[in-house]
Structure 1
């Protein structure tokens, strides 16, 4: 019960890494609060957690809309009077070389991936500052450390999140708030599966190609990232501050030849 009685907020936890993390947090004793635009999927995660004996709630929240976020945070504080962990997980992708990315897509990915982290953190941090304790986990990506074809817009957001994490840590360390980032590699989630179907004529061949980028020769699972999130949320990581934790199968370590 590494997160026993901790109130943990997760954005974008209806599927993939967010859903796996919500379940992992609940198994470790946390009270889980999910913010999601797909409320049906979020409710399914809540039902699974409750059926397993855990405690979880879900609410429709658009992370690019401050009114939506503030209403959610107010509701959470009214229910629990505290917030111990915030996992800024919600995100969208953008595919294409920079000159191919239209302004609407650029604005959307920036609004969700970067402004979303800003707005949710802005709403949650005052409660953590008042209680002099908290942990914030921001979802970056290994793409913040490497170049990857046709991902300029997405990479820009994930690099911004990593830099934001480090500066946030400097600002909030005096309040005993830890701020760290996760840098996953290619994790086989519905998000990635959908991208492969839209981007490649032969998704199966694309998967095999992606596997070759990993030193371990396999794509990651949502649970691999979820366990890293549990560590960063728990008191076990009390001395980990402003870090970018790679969970990428060795992509950023190099290549085998």
Structure 2
């Protein structure tokens, strides 16, 4: 990642002694999050469903001298989540940051929506973060500190056609963060969410390829509807996660940070 590579020599170890789990780290934003965490001094445990892309992420991190544990995990399966958390803790010597990033975003009209699609989206986007949170909390209590960060989205704030179920899971994560933040505050465990707007990531490129007859024009349209005139880079989003993972944000909990370039305020939808 070019922007992170440029700052490699100026990183101030903002996450030194942090032990971080990042889900959905096979590529795109998840890979960027894992790399940013490691570049700031954290040990990192990553999971994804695609062995090839996960292995690529692991190699990138190791080439940057980042301590990393990786495992292929189907986060729809509770036992696989439990095992991955245990193995991650054994590798890193604990856990004090959890980033629930993994998600699926199928686009489908309401009348063609199947129960299988509904179950899949709810299981990956909402049920899995709940299970991951449940599993890491005992370890965070032992450490006396923790930061849990959910990858939300502007779709959890604004309504969008054909991705309403995805948006509902993101709105659910915002609410989940607030409730768990209140429950875990006495243990010095913070829970927040971050809502990016459109990000220049593999998910975006897959989305326009699958849903537009002119993907290049669609990408330009996504940039146009953001007040700053461009979609976010992975690095820009990752920087926000680094902040919430660090002790610099010690007084921030039960909060959703809209890292969206002002998109939610403008609220224009792509054509």
- TM-score bracket for this pair, using the shorter chain length: over 0.9
Residues 1:71 and 2:61 aligned together = no
Q: Which is worse superposed, 127-136 or 167-176?
A: 127-136
Aligned to 1:132: 144
TM-superposed deviation, 1:231:
0.4
Is contact 1:25–1:32 with CA below 8 Å preserved after alignment? Answer: yes
Q: Equivalences for 1:1-257 in 2 at 5 Å?
A: 1-254=13-266
TM-superposed deviation, 1:86:
0.3
Could you tell me which runs of 5 or more consecutive residues in structure 1 were left unpaired when the two chains were aligned: none
**Could you say what secondary structure the match of 1:94 adopts?**
coil
Q: Which runs of 4+ in 1 moved over 4 A?
A: none
Rounded to whole Å, the distance in 2 between the matches of 1:123 and 1:255 is 36
TM-superposed deviation, 1:253:
2.0
Is contact 1:10–1:32 with CA below 8 Å preserved after alignment? Answer: yes
Is contact 2:96–2:143 with CA below 8 Å preserved after alignment? Answer: no
| Structural RMSD (CA) | 1.3
- TM-score when scaled to structure 2? 0.91
Rounded to whole Å, the distance in 1 between the matches of 2:97 and 2:194 is 14
Is contact 2:38–2:61 with CA below 8 Å preserved after alignment? Answer: yes
Is contact 1:33–1:58 with CA below 8 Å preserved after alignment? Answer: yes
